[in-house]
Amino acid sequence: MRLGNTVNNLSPGEPLQIGHYRVLSRLGRGGMGTVYLGQAPDGQRVAIKVINPEYTQHEQFRMRFRREADAARRVRRFCTAAVLDAALDGEQLYVVTEFVPGPNLEEAVRSDGPLRGSSLDALAVGVATALTAIHGAGIVHRDLKPSNVLLSPVGPRVIDFGIARALDTLSGVTGTGEVIGTPRYMAPEVLRGEPVSPACDVFSWGCLVAFAASGRAPFGGEALHAVLYQVLNTEPVLEGLEPGLRELVGYAMDKDPGRRPTAQQLLDHMVGRSAAPEQAAHSVQTVWQQSPPTPHTTAQWTESAPAGSPGSTVPAGPAGPAAHPGHTVPGAAPTRPGYAPPAGPPAHTVPAAHLGQTGQTGPLGQADRHGQTGPASARPQGDTRASGPGPRHGAPAASVRRKKLIAGAVVAAVVAVAGGVGGYVALRSGGPPDDLSLLYQDDFIQSGTGWSGGGYDPATVKYGYAPEGYYAVDVTGDDPVHRETAPVPFVVAPPATPDPSATPTPVIPDRLLLGVSLGVRNGSSGVGESGLFCRGDDDYKATRYEFLVDTTGKARIRRTVKSAGGDLGEPVQLDLPKGEPVRLQAECSGSGEGVRLTMWVNGEQTHSLLDSSPLPAGEVGMIARVGEKSGAVLKASFDNFTMHGPASAKKP
């Protein structure tokens, strides 16, 4: 759809007012609903996506739509169309985003031809930047494709992120048998019905960049079965890409999700070093405005454009072969051993001394007033971000020029403070890692999934599954702490005498990324806190690491041994939106040096520290607390609990 269209094309029966917004025109229709151009009371133009009625009649869809819309509102505004408002109750569900003038990528390429040079580079970096922001909020886009990237005057903007997950409750298929999504831009594991992860978006990023460079989707075929066969079994056709970018796109489109780079690694590789999304977004805007897209049109591209729009909904049908399995397609990506970033930075990046004023650094390990730091060697122990694969020797000069595109976005804000347990490090650039596999998840829509308590009743049962689709916990000064162990399918340690006839249960891995959405319900008063814990042992007195956010917006990490302990590092005061849930993520990563504990709130890192006297492996879960014998009351809600870890942890 072209979001620059402002013609009043409304049909009889279409709304003239949606909530507080006056409807100006219809922008387009898609698998989930209709998008309108609207005007807010203050005159701001907005895009309003109204969900189709056949979905809103399903209560589980509505519950998941509500949490996904809430999560989308937490995504930082880096190369995305910000979510401004949402109607999460009532008969009509809709999401309001900022209006982005300009065509989408599909329209632009089909009208004017493929992108080239710095325009293509800016697109690739901009979309990767958007994915780091989206993944940092705990969301998977799930439907990244050319029609969901808008080419605005200030750079590419990604839209429609996360909302498609609500269709999981309907098995992703409409009542008419149509697959919701665009198969030629979907990862193989999604087509096979496997769990969705951020790696799916990375695959779609590769497909999208390949389309922008050539005007063709990397997997051909007109019928659904032909497209499915190509995505599942053949290598993509990558044309119009410079060697360095072509290699990175090839890695992103590996059939095995575990071998793909993360969105942050894509960004790091294209920038040259660890890149903060805000710096990358600023640089993309600068390049985009200095050198707007200059598509390159060729008669060959115009004549051979594939039939069918990449953004269309394709009727479902059986999968089957569309080409001889042994046929080699000219221009196809080469077979590769998988993505393995080198230890050092890419050899063709621009030295920091060439970055200008905003790239200058202070003393090693200290940030200057621009938030810049010393070289990558100053990263703290446990920082697992990689710079991405370097080019093959002899890469052409064009590849080197491409690397200079976003050189000014290099940032690795590291502030090391000695003292306390291990070393306290604040790493406020960079979101949670997205190179881990989903090991366990519960969104509490269904009760009886292994957590203690049954149905929550505020009058008689102080914890349990709430009818609204979250886990509720009430604590007071008389009963000040409630700890809820997650029923994950892992054991803390293997049995001393294992039964040789039994299937072994996997042991909980040393590296974990936990996540949960926290809320404070009506009836709360005073100061309380809620969050996550790892390495827990509450046999008699509590031993665990706690990651906590209190009702005043203060975040802290706490270590307790037999119920005695205290904060690790200084608490951080956050400016959190009032009355909205927050997404808390916590990483517990063991190594020979100890255990690194890192905490993010709404995708922003608040703490990272190393405990050189680590607690032993233990349970994980959720916790709520108020002061003992205080008059405080905390009615906490927990939603969408997740646990990520190494893919190998799934195997006993």
**Angle CA 26–27–28, to nearest 5:** 100
Query: H or E stretch including 98?
Result: strand 94-98
* Residues sharing a CB contact under 8 Å with residue 116, sequence separation 6 or more, in sequence order: 213, 240, 294, 295, 296
Select from 631, 210, 262 the least CA-distant residue to 431: 262
Token pair recorded at residue 519: 């809320």
Asked if 80 contacts 134 with a C-beta cutoff of 8 angstroms, the reply is yes
Per-residue CA distances from 473 to 493, 531, 549 (Å): 29, 12, 15
Residue 127 DSSP class: H
Phi/psi for 415 (5° steps) reads -120, 110
User: What are the catalytic residues?
Assistant: 143
Residue 429 token pair? 């650039």
Integer Cα distance of 474 and 486 in angstroms? 18
- Give the alpha-carbon dihedral of 391, 393, 399, 400, to 10 degrees: 100
Beta carbons of 531 and 546 less than 8 angstroms apart = yes
Question: What tokens does 196 get?
Answer: 């969705």
Strands 582-591 and 604-611, by their bridges, are unpaired
Instruction: Confirm if 531 and 518 have CB atoms less than 8 A apart.
Output: yes
- Hey, which residues does 18 pair with through a beta bridge? 21
Structure token pair of residue 316:
């479902």
Q: What is the phi/psi pair of residue 576, to 5°?
A: -100, 145
Residue type, 427: L
- The annotation status of 49 as a binding-site residue, yes or no, is yes
* Residue whose structure tokens are 């090391």: 416
Q: What's 296's DSSP letter? A: -
Q: Annotated binding residues for ATP, as ranges?
A: 49
